[in-house]
Amino acid sequence: MSLIERDLKVIWHPYTQMKTALPPVPIVRGEGACLFDEGGKKYIDAVSSWWVNIHGHAHPYIAQKVAEQLKKLEHVIFAGFTHEGAVELAERLLAILPNNQQKVFYSDNGSTAVEVAIKMCLQYWHNKGESRTKIIAFINAYHGDTFGAMAVSGRSAFTAAFNSLLFEVEFIDLPTESNIQNLISQISNLKSNTACFIFEPLVQGAGGMNMYEAKYLNELMAYCRKEGVLMIADEVFTGFGRTGKPFACNHVNEHPDIMCFSKGLTGGTLALGLTTCTQVIYDAFLSDDKLKTLFHGHSFTANPVACSAALASLDIFLDAATTENIKRIENAHRQFALKIKDHPKIKTTRQTGTILAMEWQTGNDTSYFNSLRDKLYLYFLAAGIVLRPLGNIIYILPPYCITDDELHYIYSKIEQALNEI
Local structure of residue 419 (DSSP, 8 states): H
Q: Pseudo-torsion of CA 8, 237, 34, 401, nearest 10°?
A: -170
Range in contact with ligand PLP (rule: CB under 6 A) among 2-10, 141-149, 293-301, 355-363: 141-149
- Touching ligand PLP, residues 243-282 (CB under 6 A): 262
Length of the chain: 421
Cβ neighbours of 320 (radius 10 Å): 7
How far apart, in whole angstroms, are the C-alpha atoms of residue 141 and residue 409?
32
Cross-strand bridge partners of residue 259: 233, 276
**Is the CB of 237 or the CB of 247 nearer to ligand PLP?**
237
Q: Is 65 in the site for ligand PLP (CB under 6 A)?
A: no
**Interface pick for ligand PLP out of 30, 85, 98, 144 (rule CB under 6 A):** 144
What is the closest distance, in whole angstroms, from the C-beta atom of residue 171 to ligand PLP in the complex?
16
What is the Cα–Cα distance from 191 to 227, expressed in whole angstroms?
7
Instruction: Determine whether 327 is an active site residue.
Output: no
- Which of the residues 107 through 136 are near ligand PLP (CB under 6 A)? 109-111, 114
Backbone angles phi, psi at 135, to 5 degrees: -120, 135
Q: Determine the angle formed by the axes of helices 60-72 and 304-317, rounding to 10 degrees.
A: 150
Q: Are 65 and 313 in contact (CB under 8 A)?
A: no
Give me the least distance between CB of 290 and ligand PLP, in Å please.
Answer: 30
Q: Draw the binding track, 178-217, toward ligand PLP (x: CB under 6 A; -: no contact).
A: ----------------------x----xx-----------
* 400 noted as active-site residue: no
Partners of 233 in beta bridges: 199, 259
15 is catalytic: yes
User: Are 87 and 93 contacting, i.e. CB atoms less than 8 angstroms apart?
Assistant: no
Residues 355, 326 contacting (CB under 8 angstroms): no
Residue in the shown chain whose Cβ atom is closest to ligand PLP: 110
Cβ closest to ligand PLP, residue 203 vs residue 401 = 203
DSSP-based three-state secondary structure for 357? strand
Q: Which of 45, 115, 219, 234 binds ligand PLP (CB under 6 A)?
A: 234
Active-site choice (45, 108, 234, 257): 234
| Known catalytic membership, residue 411 | no
Separation CA 215–CA 338 (nearest Å): 24
Nearest to 242 by CA among 53, 105, 43: 53
53 binds ligand PLP (CB under 6 A): no
Q: How far is the CB of 254 from ligand PLP (least distance, A)?
A: 19
Catalytic residue, candidates 45, 65, 108, 263: 263
Q: Which of 106, 124, 142, 212 is catalytic?
A: 142
Name the residues that contact ligand PLP, by CB under 6 A. Answer: 109-111, 114, 142-144, 200, 205-206, 234, 236-237, 262
Q: Which residues are catalytic?
A: 15, 142, 234, 263
